[in-house]
A and B are shown apart, each in its own frame.
Chain A
Amino acid sequence: DAKTTQPTSMDCAEGRAANLPCNHSTISGNEYVYWYRQIHSQGPQYIIHGLKNNETNEMASLIITEDRKSSTLILPHATLRDTAVYYCIVRVARSSGGSNYKLTFGKGTLLTVNP
C-alpha cells in the first residue's frame, strides 16, 4: 500500500474551515484514500473516502488532486469537538470471493480547534 505523509499537528480557529493535507505521491490507480479521526480515548471514526472524484458528506469534504498524489480533508466549520487526530490512509480495495482488506494507520495529524 502507498505510504502517506501528514503534518504532525495543526491549529484551527473555531468556526473556520480546517484544511488537513495528505501527501500520497506513490498512490496507484486502484488505491482509495480514506480519512478517519480519533478523539482522545475513543475508537477511530470513519469520515470519508474517495478514489478520483471529490467527495462530500455530512461530516467533511475530500478534495483529491488530479494526479491523485495528494488530498485535502476539509471540515467546513470546525468546532471544539473536532479536536482529534486525523488519519489519512490509502488502500487498495481487494475482492477475493467476498472482499477483505485491512488498513494500516500511521501517526496522523493532531488538529486542535481553538475557541
Chain B
Amino acid sequence: SQTIHQWPATLVQPVGSPLSLECTVEGTSNPNLYWYRQAAGRGLQLLFYSVGIGQISSEVPQNLSASRPQDRQFILSSKKLLLSDSGFYLCAWSDPGLTGNSPLHFGNGTRLTVT
C-alpha cells in the first residue's frame, strides 16, 4: 500500500533562517505531488504541484520554493523565513492514472512557527 511521510512534525525557526521540509511517498510510481499551507482558521492554500522530476508549478508568488530531485521526493524550501510563513504545511500525492479523478492523499503535516 502507498504511504506518505512528512517531517519534521513541528518546527520553530527564527526570522531570516532557512527552511527545508521533506516529503516522500512509498508504494507508487510517478505520483503527482503537492505542497499546501493552512494558516490558522483558514482553508488549505495550494503552494506548488509537480507532475514529474524537476517539474514544479507555483500557484502563488511567495517566499518559498519547491524541488523534486527524485520521483517520490518533494522538498519545500526557503532561503530566509518571514513571520508570515508560519502555518501548517501539508504534502500530498495523487495517482496520475488515466481518468484524472484520483483523490489526494495527505501527510500528517509540519507545523512551522517563525519567531
What total count of A-B pairs have CB within 8 Å?
A: 71
- Nearest A residue to B4, CB-CB: A43
| Contact with B101, one of A32, A42, A87, A105 (Cβ below 8 angstroms) | A32
Q: Is there a chain A Cβ closer than 8 Å to B103's Cβ?
A: yes
Given that A46-B103, A46-B104 are known contacts, is A102 also in contact with B98, CB under 8 Å in the complex? no
Q: Is there a chain B Cβ closer than 8 Å to A15's Cβ?
A: no
Q: Is there a chain A Cβ closer than 8 Å to B49's Cβ?
A: yes
Given that A98-B51, A101-B94, A106-B43 are known contacts, is A45 also in contact with B106, CB under 8 Å in the complex? yes
Chain B residues lying within 8 Å of A41, measured Cβ to Cβ, are 88, 109, 111
| Contact with B103, one of A42, A49, A102 (Cβ below 8 angstroms) | A49
Contact A95 B100 (CB under 8 A): yes
CB-defined interface of B83-115 with A at 8 Å, one 1/0 digit per residue? 000001010101011111111111111010000
A positions within 8 Å CB-CB of B: 32, 34, 36, 41-46, 49, 51, 87, 93-95, 98-108
Closest 3 CB pairs of A and B: A99-B100, A43-B106, A93-B101
Q: List 9 A-B contacts (CB under 8 A).
A: A36-B103, A42-B108, A44-B90, A51-B101, A93-B101, A98-B30, A99-B99, A99-B100, A104-B43
